[in-house]
C-alpha cells in the first residue's frame, strides 16, 4: 500500500474536519453581514442583487442553522483549492490525469488495487435502469407506508387508520416533479463525481475495495448527517462561538441511538450501494441513475404526503419523518443494493479486481 495513497485518504478526512471548523468560525460573521445587508436594504433601495441578499437574510433572521449551512459550503469551496494543491505535493512531474484522485486514470499508472473509470457503451441504459430501480422501489415502499398509516396523502382528510390530517391541501404533482428534476440531476451528478469518482478513486488506491467502499460510505453518511436537530438554535447568533455551539448540537446527534439507527444507517447503506455500483461497472452512470432516482422520488413523495403524528414509539424506529429514516427504508435500500449486485455480478470464478485489468 503506497504511503502517498494512505496520505491522500488522511488529507481528505482532514479537509472535512477543516471545513467544519472553518465553517463554524465564519458562521456568526456571515450572520452579522447578512443582518447588516438586511438593514441597509430595508432603509433604502439598492441594486437587485443586494436587495435579494437582504431579503433572503431578513427571512432567515431566526434561522441561524441556515447561515451555518451556507458557511460550511463556503468553507468547503475556500479549502478546495488548498486541498487539490496538497494532494499534488510529492508527486513530481505527474500530470493531473496521472494522479489517483483524477476522474480518469490511464491503465499504465493504475496499481493493483486501483480502478480507472472506463468509457461505458451502455452508460445511458445503466443510468435509466438505476433511476427506475431506485425510484420505483422507493415509491412502492412509500405507497405501502401510506397504506400502513405512517404517512397520509395531503389531499385526504385522514390516514388509512383514521388519523386526522390537519393540513389538507391539493397535491401539485406536476409542480413537484418540475422542481425535483433539476435537483435530482444536479445533485446526483455533482455528488457522484465527487464521492464515487474522485474520492473513491483515492480510497481504492489506499486499500482493498470492501474497506474503501465502507470508509467512503461512512464519510458520505457523516457529511449528509450534519444537520442540526429539529428546532435547535443558539442563544446568541452574533456571538463569536455561535458556530461552534451549533456544531456541538449537530455532533450530539451521533450520540442519539434513534438518529443513528433511523437515519445514519440509511445514509451509510445508500453510500455502499452507490459505491458497489461504481466499482462493479467502473463507471458513474449507474450510481448517478440510482442517486437521481432516489432524490427525485423522495422529493415527489415528500411533496405529496405528510408524516402521521401520534404513532407509538416503536414507529420511530421503523419509519421516521421521511423515507430517509427508519429500519423499513433501510430494508428498501438494501433490497436495491441486492438487485444492483445481482445485475452487475461477475462471472463465476472471477475476482472483482480482474474487471479492472
pLDDT, one tens digit per residue, over 130-152 is 999 999 999 999 999 999 999 99
Q: What does the pLDDT read at residue 354?
A: 38
Is a pLDDT exceeding 80 seen at residue 101? no
Q: What is the pTM of this model?
A: 0.81
For 50-55, what is the mean pLDDT?
72
Least confident of 72-76, 106-110, 324-328: 106-110
Angle, helices 265-281 vs 209-224, to 10°: value is 140
| Confidence grade of residue 110 (pLDDT, cut at 50, 70, 90) | very low
Tell me: the pLDDT tens digits for 271-289? 999 999 999 888 899 999 9
Highest-pLDDT range among 52-56, 245-249, 313-317: 245-249
- Is the pLDDT assigned to residue 80 strictly greater than 90? no
In the chain, % of residues over pLDDT 70 = 84
Low-confidence winner among 161-175, 221-235, 307-321 (lowest mean pLDDT): 221-235
Give phi and psi for 209, each to the nearest 5: -55, -45
Please state whether beta strands 305-307 and 151-153 pair in parallel, antiparallel, or not at all (unpaired): antiparallel
Q: For residues 192 and 323, is the Cβ–Cβ distance under 8 A? A: no
First to last CA, the chain: 18
Q: Residue 286: which of 295, 296, 277 has the closest Cα?
A: 277
User: Does 112 have pLDDT greater than 50?
Assistant: no
Return the pLDDT at 357: 33
Q: What mean pLDDT is reported for the chain?
A: 83
pLDDT value of residue 172: 92
Residue predicted with more confidence, 271 or 347: 271
Nearest to 17, CA basis, from 260, 251, 275, 269 = 251
CB atoms within 10 A of CB 246: 25
Phi-psi sector, 119: left (phi>0), alpha (psi -120 to 50), beta: beta
Residue 288's nearest CA partner among 118, 114, 140, 128 is: 128
Q: How confident is the model at residue 340 (pLDDT cuts 50, 70, 90)?
A: very high
Q: Where are the domains of the chain?
A: 95-356
pLDDT in tens, 235-253: 888 899 999 999 998 888 8
Q: How confident is the model at residue 349 (pLDDT cuts 50, 70, 90)?
A: very low
pLDDT of 134 reads 97
Amino acid at each position: 500500500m503506497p504511503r502517498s495513497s494512505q496520505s491522500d485518504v488522511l488529507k481528505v478526512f482532514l479537509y472535512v474536519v477543516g471545513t467544519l471548523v472553518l465553517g463554524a468560525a465564519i458562521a456568526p460573521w456571515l450572520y452579522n453581514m447578512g443582518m447588516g445587508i438586511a438593514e441597509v436594504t430595508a432603509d433604502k433601495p439598492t441594486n437587485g442583487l443586494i436587495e435579494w441578499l437582504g431579503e433572503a437574510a431578513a427571512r432567515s433572521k431566526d434561522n441561524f442553522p441556515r447561515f451555518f449551512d451556507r458557511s460550511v459550503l463556503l468553507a468547503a469551496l475556500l479549502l478546495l483549492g488548498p486541498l487539490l494543491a496538497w494532494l499534488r505535493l510529492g508527486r513530481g512531474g505527474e500530470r493531473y490525469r496521472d494522479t489517483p484522485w483524477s476522474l480518469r486514470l490511464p491503465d499504465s499508472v493504475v496499481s493493483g488495487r486501483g480502478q480507472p473509470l472506463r468509457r461505458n457503451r451502455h452508460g445511458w441504459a445503466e443510468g435509466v435502469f438505476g433511476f427506475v430501480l431506485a425510484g420505483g422501489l422507493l415509491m412502492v415502499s412509500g405507497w405501502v407506508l401510506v397504506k400502513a398509516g405512517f404517512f397520509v396523502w395531503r389531499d385526504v382528510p385522514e390516514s388509512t387508520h383514521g388519523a386526522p390530517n390537519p393540513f389538507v391541501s391539493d397535491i401539485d404533482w406536476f409542480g413537484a416533479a418540475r422542481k425535483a428534476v433539476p435537483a435530482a440531476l444536479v445533485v446526483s451528478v455533482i455528488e457522484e463525481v465527487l464521492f464515487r469518482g474522485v474520492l473513491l478513486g483515492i480510497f481504492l488506491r489506499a486499500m482493498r475495495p470492501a474497506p474503501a467502499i465502507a470508509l467512503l460510505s461512512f464519510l458520505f453518511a457523516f457529511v449528509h448527517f450534519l444537520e442540526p436537530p429539529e428546532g435547535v438554535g443558539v442563544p446568541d447568533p452574533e456571538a463569536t462561538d455561535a458556530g461552534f455551539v451549533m456544531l456541538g448540537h449537530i455532533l450530539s446527534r451521533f450520540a442519539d441511538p434513534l438518529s443513528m439507527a433511523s437515519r445514519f444507517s440509511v445514509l451509510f447503506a445508500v453510500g455502499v450501494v452507490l459505491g458497489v455500483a461504481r466499482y462493479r461497472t467502473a463507471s458513474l452512470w449507474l450510481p448517478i441513475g440510482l442517486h437521481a432516482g432516489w432524490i427525485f422520488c423522495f422529493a415527489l413523495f415528500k411533496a405529496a404526503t405528510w408524516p402521521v403524528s401520534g404513532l407509538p414509539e416503536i414507529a420511530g424506529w421503523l419509519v421516521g419523518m421521511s423515507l430517509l429514516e427508519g429500519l423499513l427504508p433501510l430494508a428498501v435500500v438494501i433490497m436495491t443494493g441486492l438487485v444492483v449486485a445481482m445485475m452487475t455480478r461477475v462471472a463465476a470464478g472471477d475476482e472483482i479486481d480482474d474487471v479492472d485489468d
